[in-house]
Structure 1
Amino acid sequence: MAELMFYQQPIVLNRETNKDLCFTATSDYGFSKGVNSVPLTGIEFFEASRDLPVLFSKDEEGNYFPIVLLSLRGDGHEQIGAEGEWTGNYIPAFIRRYPFALTEGKDLCYDSTAAGFSEEGDRLFDDEGKNTETLDSIITFLTDFDAQHQLTREFCSELSELSMFKPFMLQVMTVDKSALRLDGLFIIDEDKLGDLDNEKVGAWFRKGFLAWIYAHMHSLGSLNRLSDKL
């Protein structure tokens, strides 16, 4: 999974060299316009499933991970308007966290090419070099995101161990009657879900995994909404 999908020049935030750096949040999500899906954490399945399909893909190591499908096109999506404003109902956290991210070592990095950074706006450090409320809020969001990402990896790992994923072939007709096919997608096998023993069902219920599974299944109905936009 491309953890820094949108980041052109990510650098680690430094309280010395970046002591005067300010950040102004923007509602321009145009940086995401070239993709048709992004990774999703399990806790987001509920909100996303109301309007967007939640599916699964595989990374280069063969590990499954959930994605939210933003479009049935192969080269972009229709969730943003002409000015980069988000026109859909749910903005995935993977997109909302930009231009900040945590490294594997838990250092805070940011895309130095992103709009919003200057010497005017909300300061990230105060005059004593300590974190401002703005920076603490960013760190809290990223820390929560990473925690949910780890839990989602555990969720996918448990499903994979039980061979719960099955390939999902998605082929739709565009308005000009041409066939569009998206490969490399997976869904949870509902038949194998019904074969789970009571102990596993109880464990997944307590972890919240069972609810995530049903949110994923519910989301598949949103494929029709995306096909209407082709």
Structure 2
Amino acid sequence: MFEQLVPVNKARHATKKIKQIEGFGFASQFHIASVMVHEFARASAIYPVVFLEDKEKDEFRPVVLMGLDAGENLFVSTTGKWEASYVPAIIRRYPFALASTDQEGQFTVCIDEASDLISDAEGVALFDEKGEPSEAIENVKRYLGELQQMEAFTREFCKYFAEHNLFTPLNMRVQQADQAKNITGCYVVNEERLNNLSNERFLEMREKRYLPAVYAHLVSLGQIERLMMLKDERLTPAANQS
């Protein structure tokens, strides 16, 4: 998603302004987006929520599928409109992000300098006339800080499920435009293992407030059919024009 992420500082960005997101053309080629556990309930009504394995970091992370093929986002129209009622937080926070510093537990606000939302003439200033962070930056810091806390909870959630061997590879065969397509490369919670948990382990998950997210994830898998329908709708006009 980010092409040129750099820390925000007044020496480099004193005259820069940030425009309000009015379209999502920048996300038109994102077929997945990271989400946090706190987003599962709303996201599951629209997108399949699955997990990807990061072998280098030896961890799992949840994402929503927004397309069946790399480079396609079935929820962004040709005019850049997001055609769903919920936009993942990672996309709403664009072009900002938090990055770790050399000090443990410390983060700095970064911005994607390649974004079209950055301007010298339009938008809200990042710094005031005195060179101090503007209210816009303070709001971004607050928002990113809240997301950081949610991300920490999400990492613990995924670590717990990985440690208890509750993830299993998704291998689903679907029919799309008269062709069979395999949905692979991601993981889901294994329902059989979940149902066979001891009462003690199940109660532990309830105490950790993991259960609502688990059920939202499992229900969301039915949204893969929605992706198939959206894909077919896009293919049909193209076929009629050919």
Residue 44 (structure 1) shift: 0.5
Query: Could you tell me how far apart the structure 2 residues matched to 1:165 and 1:144 are?
Result: 27
CA distance in 2, matches of 1:194, 1:161: 17
* Partners of 1:132 and 1:125 in 2: CA distance: 5
Note the 1:109-120 alignment, pairs <5 A: 109-119=110-120, 120=122
SS in 1 for 2:51: strand
Q: Does 1:139 align with 2:141?
A: yes
Contact 2:29–2:70 under 8 Å retained in 1: no
Q: Aligned partners of 1:31 and 1:210: how far apart in 2?
A: 34
Q: Which amino acid aligns with 1:142?
A: L
TM-score (norm: length of structure 2): 0.86
Equivalent residue for 1:20, pick from 15, 39, 42: 15
2:181 is matched with 180
The TM-score, its normalising length taken from structure 1, stands at 0.91
Gapped regions of structure 1 (runs ≥ 5): 1-5
- RMSD between aligned residues: 1.6
2:14 aligned partner, one-letter code: K
What is the CA-CA distance between 1:73 and the residue it aligns to?
2.8
Q: Please list the CA deviations of residues 119-150 of structure 1 after superposition, one character each: whole Å capped at 9, or x if unmatched.
A: 33211222222222211111112112222112
Q: Which has the higher helix share?
A: 2
Moved over 6 A (4+): none
Give yes or no for contact 1:74–1:182 (8 Å, CA) kept in 2: no
2:229 partner letter: D
**1:80 corresponds to which of 58, 70, 76:** 76
2-side partners of 1:114 and 1:17: how far apart? Answer: 15
**CA deviation string 1:15-38 (max 9, x = no partner):** 233222211112222222223211
Report how many residues are paired. 224
Question: Unaligned stretches of 5+ in structure 2?
Answer: 102-106, 232-242
CA distance in 1, matches of 2:198, 2:175: 40
Relative to 1, partners in 2 of residues 1:180 and 1:75: Cα closer, same or farther, differing over 3 Å?
Answer: farther
1:96-137 deviations in whole A, cap 9, x for unaligned?
111111111211111112112223321122222222221111
Q: Does 1:48 align with 2:59?
A: no
> Is contact 1:27–1:86 with CA below 8 Å preserved after alignment?
no
Q: Which residue of 1 aligns with 2:229?
A: 228
**CA distance in 2: counterparts of 1:193 and 1:121, whole angstroms:** 49
Distance 1:229 1:211 in 2: 27
Find the aligned partners of 1:79 and 1:229 in 2 and give their Cα distance.
8
Counterpart in 2 of 1:202? 203
Name the counterpart of 1:3.
none
User: Which piece of structure 1 moves more, 58-67 or 210-219?
Assistant: 58-67
Determine what percentage of the aligned residue pairs are the same residue: 30
Q: Helix, strand or coil for the counterpart of 1:224?
A: helix
Q: Give the aligned partner of residue 160 of structure 1.
A: 162
What is the identity, as a one-letter code, of the residue corresponding to 2:153? L
Residues 1:94 and 2:95 are matched in the alignment: no
> 3-state DSSP class of the match of 1:103?
strand
Matched with 1:216 is: 217
Farther off after superposition, 200-209 or 135-144: 200-209
User: Secondary structure in 1 aligned to 2:11?
Assistant: coil
Quote the residue 1:71 is aligned against: 67
Q: Which residue of 2 aligns with 1:36?
A: 31
Aligned partners of 1:207 and 1:145: how far apart in 2?
Answer: 19
Matching residue's letter, 1:210:
L
After superposition, the C-alpha distances for 1:60-108 in whole angstroms (9 at most, x for unaligned) are: 3242111101122343121011121211221111211111111112111
What is the CA–CA distance in structure 2 between the aligned matches of 1:194 and 1:227, rounded to whole Å? 29
Give the stretch that moved more between structures: 192-201 or 85-94. 192-201
Matches of 2:46 and 2:110, distance apart in 1: 31
